[in-house]
């Protein structure tokens, strides 16, 4: 078991009133949450996003990435659909942690791209793990997903866990002069599906 269920409560947000479900990794004590809205028992595929923690983007409004923009757009899309799940995974900086992300940002200030910065610090370009998603979805009884992502590796990772991703929904938001190089690097080196035009939220 990657995670164990802890508790559920209501979470009012500007986008709607979600149910917040807490999960914990037994081996590490690391905590993750899932926000759900609407009927979880339907067999219809559920609009979903797996979102890895980004303190700088999600909480501090950083324009160096598109994370905060994607988080808000995903919640708005779930609220508009009336049914969905957002799994918020505590793996900061694509898995390297907050302080190492600051070190990586310093290297980017000096000319490295996001992949080169991680590698100079001795890390792989992306250390994220999605194994907890299978347990979270299994506990909630969610069988299939319409996944909001631009990352083909994320789709492949979830499918390799046996999660039924029936559709990929683009989430092109937040491009600005501060993250232009970052987004282009994700496209050229990590294979992300990106577009020059950025929508306000996913279709």
The answer to whether 114 is a known ligand-binding residue is yes
The answer to whether 93 is a known ligand-binding residue is yes
Contacts 24+ apart (CB under 8 A), 54-58: 54/92, 54/93, 55/92, 55/98, 56/101
pLDDT band at 197 (very low <50, low <70, confident <90, very high): very low
pLDDT band at 195 (very low <50, low <70, confident <90, very high): low
List, by residue number, the catalytic residues.
126, 128
Level-2 CATH architecture, domain 4-91+128-178: 3-Layer(aba) Sandwich (3.40)
The answer to whether 110 is a known ligand-binding residue is no
């Amino acid at each position: 078991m990657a995670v164990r269920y802890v508790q559920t409560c209501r979470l009012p947000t500007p986008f709607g009133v979600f149910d917040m479900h807490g999960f914990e990794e037994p081996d590490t004590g690391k905590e993750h949450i899932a926000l759900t809205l609407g009927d979880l028992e339907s067999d219809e595929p559920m609009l979903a996003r797996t979102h890895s923690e980004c303190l700088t983007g999600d909480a501090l409004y950083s324009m160096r990435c598109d994370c905060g923009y994607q988080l808000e757009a995903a919640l708005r899309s779930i609220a508009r659909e009336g049914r969905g799940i957002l799994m918020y995974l505590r793996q900061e900086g694509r898995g390297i942690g907050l302080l190492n992300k600051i070190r990586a940002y310093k290297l980017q200030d000096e000319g490295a791209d996001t992949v080169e910065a991680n590698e100079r610090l001795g890390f792989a370009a992306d250390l994220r793990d999605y194994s907890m998603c299978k347990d979270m979805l299994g506990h909630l009884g969610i069988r299939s997903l319409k996944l909001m992502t631009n990352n083909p590796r994320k789709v492949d990772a979830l499918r390799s866990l046996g999660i039924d991703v029936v559709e990929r929904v683009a989430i092109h938001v937040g491009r600005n002069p501060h993250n232009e190089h970052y987004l282009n690097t994700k496209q050229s080196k990590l294979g992300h599906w990106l577009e020059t035009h950025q929508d306000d939220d996913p279709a």
